Amino acid sequence: MQIGMTVLMTQALKTIVSSYHDYDKNSHLCPLPVSPPRSRQWRQSRIGTFAIAIAALLISTTAWLSLVFSDATTCCFHSLKDRQSRPHFFNWKKCVSHCHAKVTPPPALQFGTRKDHLHNGSSIVEQQGLSLKHIVFGIAGSSQLWKRRKEYVRLWWRPHDMRGHVWLDEQVLEEPGDDLLPPIMISEDISYFRYTNPIGHPSGLRISRIVKESFRLGLSDVRWFVLCDDDTIFNVNNLVDVLGKYNSSEMIYIGSPSESHSANSYFSHSMAFGGGGIAISQPLAKALSEMLDECIERYPKLYGSDDRLHACITELGIPLTWERGFHQVFN
């Protein structure tokens, strides 16, 4: 831009000098009424002075343009041009600081691929050695079905190695052997939330809040919250291996769509289904705990818990990280 302005100023100088000579040659066409005769030497002196003045103006203008049209100013100039229709939104100081800031690529998190969150050679020591003690399970159940469904949980639950709770709508009677199952928690009242889906059930509101209620328990040294149904069966060793590949200090949403195309078409191909299990990192659980209630209130027409959770995680800008081992349907 500086070179272009210099060329323009040089051309302007040539035009002015040429015009002055043309005027001098054609002065006989329109003589001044009282113009005293001027010598050729005087005219040359005046032209020289005029050229020096133009050169000085050119140099000072170039220096001024060098200052004004710096990188930051040029950046703001384009921003200002884009915002001509709403000039009261333009913030010069913010623009300059933004243009001087180091440009960094968008975070890999938004791509939602497995490689974005995998550990590398510079893994934090805190992230090493993931075990079952670092995972809290939130198991969604129903008081009417728990007597039968708890046998599914008994197949994979390790009472001395694992942490978590079964979240029911009402208290149930404890039976012999239930001490080897996860402790039962009663979900908070959800009657004040709107639910307008004509074919679903309001229990989806209660189940979608399990991650918030689990986080609010304040358990120590938690890296992952794993949400599932009471008829979900885990291979817990494989689960630890899978989650151990990821950096739990980031906001990560792990799971898998359904094997059913019709279910994915009805809900979403980028939504994790709770029947196959959903893993949520501790930072994402914290963020959800702060906005989940307000978020689900905005979606009264949604069917169940999985799509409500998906909607709120999407509002936070976190995509699904697909792990194929989370199966929603068994054949």
Q: What's the pLDDT tens digit per position in 122-173?
A: 333 345 689 999 999 999 999 999 999 999 999 999 999 999 999 999 999 9
Same domain, 151 and 174: yes
Indicate whether 105 belongs to any domain.
Answer: no
Same domain, 140 and 283: yes
User: Which pTM does this prediction carry?
Assistant: 0.63
Indicate whether 280 belongs to any domain.
Answer: yes
Q: Which residues contact 186 (CB under 8 A, 6 or more apart)?
A: 167, 168, 169, 170, 171
What tens digit of pLDDT does each residue of 292-330 get?
999 999 999 999 999 999 999 999 999 999 898 888 775
Q: Which two tokens stand for residue 96?
A: 């300059």
Same domain, 118 and 195: yes
Task: Give the per-residue pLDDT at 89.
Answer: 38
Same domain, 88 and 126: no
Task: Give the per-residue pLDDT at 125.
Answer: 36
Indicate whether 328 belongs to any domain.
Answer: no
What tens digit of pLDDT does each residue of 3-48 get?
454 444 555 545 544 544 444 444 444 444 444 455 566 566 666 6
- Alpha carbon 233 to its chain centroid, in Å, reads 32
Indicate whether 330 belongs to any domain.
Answer: no
Count of domains for the chain: 2
Indicate whether 109 belongs to any domain.
Answer: no
Indicate whether 39 belongs to any domain.
Answer: yes
Q: Which two tokens stand for residue 4?
A: 């272009």
Is 48 within 8 Å of 58 (Cβ atoms)? no
Measured distance CA(190)–CA(185) in Å, rounded:
15
Give the range of the structural domain holding residue 94, as residue numbers without chain letter: 2-100
Indicate whether 327 belongs to any domain.
Answer: no
Same domain, 96 and 198: no
Cα–Cα distances in angstroms (integers) from residue 319 to residues 100, 109, 310, in the given order:
30, 8, 9
> CB atoms < 10 A from the CB of 174, how many?
10
Same domain, 127 and 262: yes
Indicate whether 329 belongs to any domain.
Answer: no
CATH number at residue 248: 3.90.550.50
Same domain, 81 and 224: no
Residue type, 215: F
- SS3 per residue for 25-78: HCHHHCCCCCCCCCCHHHHHHHHHHHHHHHHHHHHHHHHHHHHHCCHHHHHHHH
265 falls in which pLDDT band (50, 70, 90)? confident
What tens digit of pLDDT does each residue of 74-121 get?
444 444 444 444 443 344 444 434 444 433 333 433 334 555 556 543
pLDDT for 218 beyond 70? yes
| Mean pLDDT taken over the chain | 76
Question: DSSP string covering 241-306, please?
Answer: HHHTTB-TTS--EEE---S-HHHHHHS-TT---GGG-EEEEHHHHHHHHHHHHHHHHT-TT--SHH
Same domain, 89 and 119: no
